Every structure is written in C-alpha cells, then in structure tokens.
Amino acid sequence: MSLEDNKAIVRRFIHEGVIGGNLALIDELTSPECINHSAVPEARIGTEGLKRVVGFSRAAMPDQRWENEMLVAEGDLVVIHGIREATWQAESFRGVATSKGKPVSVELVHIFRVQNGKIVEHWAVRDDLAMMKQLGAL
C-alpha cells in the first residue's frame, strides 16, 4: 500500500469512525489483533477494545470536530495532529467527576501503524491536564 493509501485509512478511521460514530468501520480498518497502546489494559488489544474507547469518546463528546489537522506518513506509520473541540457530556473522566455541558478544546497527536491496509497499532498523546482543567475537575 502507498503512503497515500495509508493516510486515507487513517482519515477514514478518524473522520468516519471516531467523529462520525461509525463503529462498524473499525472492523473494516483495523486488524483483529490491533494494539492500542494508549488504552487502559482491558481495552488495549483487539477491535472490541478499540470500539469501547471510541464509543466512550463519542458518548463523552458527541459533537466533536477536529481543527488544524496535519497528516504525515512515512513507511508504515501515519501521524495525525489536530485540536479536538467538543461539548463534554460525560459525568467523569478517568474516575474524576467533571462538569457536563462544558466546551473543551484538546490538542492531540495520534500515531497509527498500518500494514496490508489495516491499522495494527495505535499510540496517542493528548493534553488531558488541559482538558481536566477545562472540565473543572482540577
């Protein structure tokens, strides 16, 4: 697969899967043994764990959108950087009570490894501290 093919897979995953809420797309775009290095241990391996993480993201921020998106690919890696903006709808984050209905803006970097047209690994760097402050949790 070309670098452009790999970038297209990641774009679809983010825009149609995460932002659009199409969880069935995860089965199409990820390997059943996909490793999400950024998830809690019980959701780290496989498509079901990935669906759980994306499902929480969608429930907590159903109106999420990405701004200032940058997408770079080299070899089998695709890196996407952006700012996710949304209205927070969850009552907690990582076990800490939060205020529902607050706007949040969080800078994100996601790294995907793509092999044979499927996402096989994922890493994420988020500014959770800034998000917790915006949610009144700190």
Q: Mean per-residue pLDDT for 40-44?
A: 87
Cross-strand partners of 34: none
Question: Which residues 6+ apart lie within 8 Å of 95 measured at CB?
Answer: none
Query: Using 50, 70 and 90 to split pLDDT, how confident is the model at 43?
Result: confident
Look at residue 94 and tell me whether its pLDDT is greater than 90.
no
Q: What local confidence, expressed as pLDDT, does residue 8 receive? A: 97
Q: What is the pLDDT of residue 41?
A: 86
Q: What backbone phi and psi angles, to 5 degrees, belong to 35?
A: -110, 120
Q: What is the mean pLDDT of residues 73-89?
A: 96
